[in-house]
Structure 1
Amino acid sequence: MSTAVGGTTRPCPECGARVPVDERFTVWCAACDWNVDPGERQEHRQKQETEKRRAKRPGQGRLEEARRALARRHGERLHTEMTRDGADLRARRDGASVLAYALALAVHGVTAALLAGGVLCLVWGWGGGLMLLGAVLLVMAVALRPRLSPPLGDGTVLRRADAPELYALVDEVARAVGTRGVDTISVGKEINASVISRGLRGRRALDLGLPLWEVLTPQQRVALLGHELGHYANGDTRHGRVVGSALRSLATWRYYFLPTPRPSLGEMIVNAVYAVPLLLVQGTLSLLDHLTLRATQRAEYLADREAARTASTEAAAGLMDQMLVLDSIDVFLRRESNNAALAGARSARRNAAGAREGGDLWTRLAAHLASVPEHEYERQRRAGARRGHSVDSTHPPTHLRRAFLLTGPPAEPAVVLDEAKQRRIAAELATARAEVARSIVRDGVA
């Protein structure tokens, strides 16, 4: 092993080229792609196991291969469609989206039928045996009702009075992408960000994960907000109340019909009775997911375009690069939490360690991300290209999203987060930053 500029190198075992070595990241060769995706070895072993199972269950392996090939063809066709000259990048409804909407209405119709049937049984059978059936139908209707509000995270909720500058930034971004802002903002320890609609009135809630927010540049933060709000500007089907709540309803139904593990004799009978409804629910859920998958992946590209238009192409592409190393953020935060646990075995000492170390966590995390070498970003891009499209992923591969952003002339920012605004927003988030940092050090990441 020899010393090189910025670290050490060693010869590639495949082609002999010198490869950089950083003990924090996978060692790989840019010349021949040796070890570019260590997960391929695990996938190869899994494929061998699949081949063995295929011999016992003919046809299943071929079906899985067909699904993967279909996902790859659809993904490649969509990327070609989005990047060709003169591509129509407007929001639109295709045949699959219309069918998905109709299927979602049918799902909600089942709940409505249960409710109506329960009421009628109670009215017509008052004082008789139909009352019991009516009560059962009403209980089922309540249990299987549409979930218009996804579960809340465990973040700290900031009202407009708590963070006027942050809300003002979100409002400015929303105007730039052609939609309205949010009603609430919560900050937590997830390595993610999302905007969801809640309730019949469709109140929008921004969930902002500080581990992601803290490692982004100011303009990348604008790009993040532009992307999330861009889903509403582009009419993303899964962000709509009808289809989104139908997907949540089907997931709830599936949960209720799942067989009981290690059942007793009575539970075995219940499992047998539930087998057919479970298959129907699972099939409907898979169909609705499939019908919305292409539109949802297209919506991701359109949301990326809004991110570039709002924050600049450079910032949006930089955001994509940060998405490539989310696992590194997770590993770093877990290591910080484990180190704090080792430093304070007793709970009182650990709480003190969390309070002491939490304040510096974001500085250390930012420094860690800044030290990620370019060859690790390139490895992630190449590994993503080799893996291709996932069968059921709602997002296109990150390297294709980045390539889409870099197609055509670069966009200039419509919203600029200058240093003064950034300082004011940081001051508004100061208390939440400290609380989330202490929670991560004390309890680990989500």
Structure 2
Amino acid sequence: MSIPAAPTAAATEAAATAPTASAPQACPCCAATIDADPRFAVWCPRCEWNLTPGATDAPAPKTRRSAAHARREAAATARTDQLFEDIAAGRTATGGQRARLAAAAIATAVHLATAALCAWGLWLLVTGNTPLRCLGAVVLALVVLIRPRLGRAPRGEGVLTRAEAPALYGLADRVAAELGTRPAGVIQVDADFNASVWVAGLRRQTVLTLGLPFWEVLGEQDRVALLGHEFGHRVNGDNRRGFWLGAAIQALAHWHDLARPRGHYRNAVGLQMLFQLTDLLLGVLLGGVAWLLRRVLLLLDRLTSRAGQQAEYHADTLATRVGSTEATRRLLRTLLLQQTAETAATRVRAELRSRPGTARRGRTPDPAERTSAPEAFWERLRVHLATVPPLEHERLLRRSALERGAVDATHPPTHLRLALLDRAPAVPAAVTMTPAEATAIAAELAPHRVRVARTLLAG
């Protein structure tokens, strides 16, 4: 981590006040002894009582919709587990090429439909009479709404230029070169517990987004593994990140959003009966269109889910090659702590606000206050996540296994990603972060650390 050799007063105070484990207690289900940390959910590793706090043990009433949902989750679980076994055994994806071709065919149909709609609108605008020209203008406006979007590179707040952050860009360039992909054209930092790489604009410029809460709680080599994973998405063969399929999915989502009936006329004044009848007819028509579009989106999700999860596993493999297997394992275990980090941030915010003399809304903080509060926030967040007990890590891993049927099509369950790393031989790091480099990067991010901390403290 980018922490000074001598701990700050905030770090010393946070470490000294870190809660210790509470007195052992008995599990209400199996009477096993539980050594719980008062900061986290109390659960039993033997019988898994309270594994998912807040979940009810009472069975939900069975309906046709709930039964269909259960079948979909069971099928998703089976596909997820089968993919893991195939990759672990080195087998190629069964039917992967057919699914890829089918998804490409649907994407082509979507783009052709958009092109046809644009041509029809232009034809009406050029050759039609006044009412048809008005219709053509409406059609073209609709085309503008559902057109494929290239995205725009971020500007302004949170964006670092190469002149402002030469050390961070240098590290990212070394990782990109190791993986044989294009370097980052833009690096942006935000307040999310996440990171991503995407492309924007006609030049397809690579944009690296780093969530500062995630970056700050990672160790130095873990950050290299994070960059390896994100840049790995540029070379892992995930066709959903390409323009053709990605733009089609985005267009379908826009179509679905536009088609969903919203009931615009239900509160209209005057001719209310006519407006309500029109609203009803539009609702029936658009509801059918929205239903059909949702079925197509679900089909695309089904066709691309295996390839998407396989690409995520491949990105993990590339992360191990760049940052080492051990660093990637620590990275994934930290990723499980997203909700924990959000809870910790809320607690730290409440603690800092309760201090005597702490800045509150309506009062301008003094300069010392403006400097100490953000640094105290990061120190306490680091200490909180660094002292998460093994029992809580185990609970999060088991919850990942329990919820694997509900995982999205982009990421396989984290416990399976860790299990795949455990099955492969350990790999040393190809790129390492030097102490001088870590210090320089910390200095480059310092203004953004203050900005993001203030944003989170104000939230």
Both structures adopt the same fold (TM-score exceeding 0.5): yes
Deviation string 1:214-254 (CA, Å, 9 cap, x unpaired) is 00001111111111111111121221111112222122222
Alignment-derived partner of residue 361 in structure 2: 346
SS of equivalent residue, structure 2 residue 163: coil
Indicate whether 1:29 and 2:29 are aligned. no
SS of equivalent residue, structure 1 residue 415: coil
Indicate whether 1:412 and 2:428 are aligned. yes
Mapped to 1, the partners of 2:44 and 2:316 lie a distance apart of: 30
Indicate whether 1:78 and 2:83 are aligned. yes
Contact 1:155 1:189 in 2 (8 A): no
Alignment-derived partner of residue 309 in structure 2: 297
Mapped to 2, the partners of 1:380 and 1:165 lie a distance apart of: 35
- For residue 167 of structure 1, the aligned residue among 161, 166, 169 is 169
Indicate whether 1:143 and 2:174 are aligned. no
Alignment-derived partner of residue 238 in structure 1: 240
Letter in 2 for 1:23: P
C-alpha spacing 1:30/1:355, structure 2 compared with 1 (3 Å): same
- For residue 63 of structure 1, the aligned residue among 52, 68, 82 is 68
**Percent of aligned pairs with the same residue?**
39
Contact 1:27 1:35 in 2 (8 A): yes
Letter in 2 for 1:327: Q
Indicate whether 1:310 and 2:322 are aligned. yes
Q: Indicate the larger mover: 273-282 or 241-250.
A: 273-282
- For residue 380 of structure 1, the aligned residue among 396, 399, 407 is 396
SS of equivalent residue, structure 1 residue 82: helix
C-alpha spacing 1:268/1:334, structure 2 compared with 1 (3 Å): farther
Structure 1 residue 267 displacement after superposition: 3.5
Structure 1 residue 277 displacement after superposition: 2.1
Structure 1 residue 280 displacement after superposition: 2.4
Mapped to 2, the partners of 1:133 and 1:33 lie a distance apart of: 61
Contact 1:354 1:439 in 2 (8 A): no
Structure 1 residue 384 displacement after superposition: 1.9
Once the two structures are superposed, the pairs formed by residues 1-400 of structure 1 within 5 Å of their partners are 7-39=22-54, 41-42=55-56, 44-45=57-58, 47-49=59-61, 51=62, 54=63, 59-84=64-89, 86-87=90-91, 94-125=97-128, 128-149=130-151, 156-261=158-263, 263-264=265-266, 265=276, 266-339=278-351, 344-349=359-364, 356-390=372-406, 392-400=408-416
Mapped to 2, the partners of 1:155 and 1:69 lie a distance apart of: 44
Mapped to 1, the partners of 2:27 and 2:292 lie a distance apart of: 52
Contact 1:104 1:246 in 2 (8 A): yes
User: Which one scores higher on RCO, CA 8 angstroms, separation ≥ 6?
Assistant: 2
Alignment-derived partner of residue 437 in structure 2: 421
Structure 1 residue 273 displacement after superposition: 3.3
C-alpha spacing 1:269/1:14, structure 2 compared with 1 (3 Å): closer
SS of equivalent residue, structure 2 residue 217: coil
Contact 2:158 2:448 in 1 (8 A): yes
TM-score under structure 2 length normalisation: 0.86
Contact 1:254 1:278 in 2 (8 A): yes
Unaligned runs of 5+ in 1: none
C-alpha spacing 1:61/1:151, structure 2 compared with 1 (3 Å): farther
Structure 1 residue 344 displacement after superposition: 4.7
Structure 1 residue 283 displacement after superposition: 1.8
Contact 1:355 1:438 in 2 (8 A): no
Letter in 2 for 1:322: T
Mapped to 1, the partners of 2:254 and 2:87 lie a distance apart of: 35
Deviation string 1:287-313 (CA, Å, 9 cap, x unpaired) is 112211111111111111111111010
Structure 1 residue 263 displacement after superposition: 4.3
Deviation string 1:145-194 (CA, Å, 9 cap, x unpaired) is 11221795995101111111111111111122221121101101011101
Contact 2:182 2:206 in 1 (8 A): no
Contact 1:198 1:204 in 2 (8 A): yes
Letter in 1 for 2:347: R
Mapped to 2, the partners of 1:76 and 1:425 lie a distance apart of: 40
Contact 2:153 2:186 in 1 (8 A): no
Mapped to 1, the partners of 2:153 and 2:28 lie a distance apart of: 49
Contact 1:359 1:434 in 2 (8 A): yes
Mapped to 2, the partners of 1:242 and 1:300 lie a distance apart of: 20
Mapped to 2, the partners of 1:32 and 1:68 lie a distance apart of: 23
Q: Indicate the larger mover: 230-239 or 205-214.
A: 230-239
Contact 1:68 1:391 in 2 (8 A): no
Mapped to 2, the partners of 1:135 and 1:261 lie a distance apart of: 24
Alignment-derived partner of residue 439 in structure 1: 455
Letter in 1 for 2:30: C
TM-score under structure 1 length normalisation: 0.88
Structure 1 residue 318 displacement after superposition: 0.6
Letter in 2 for 1:229: F
Contact 1:71 1:390 in 2 (8 A): yes
Letter in 2 for 1:170: A
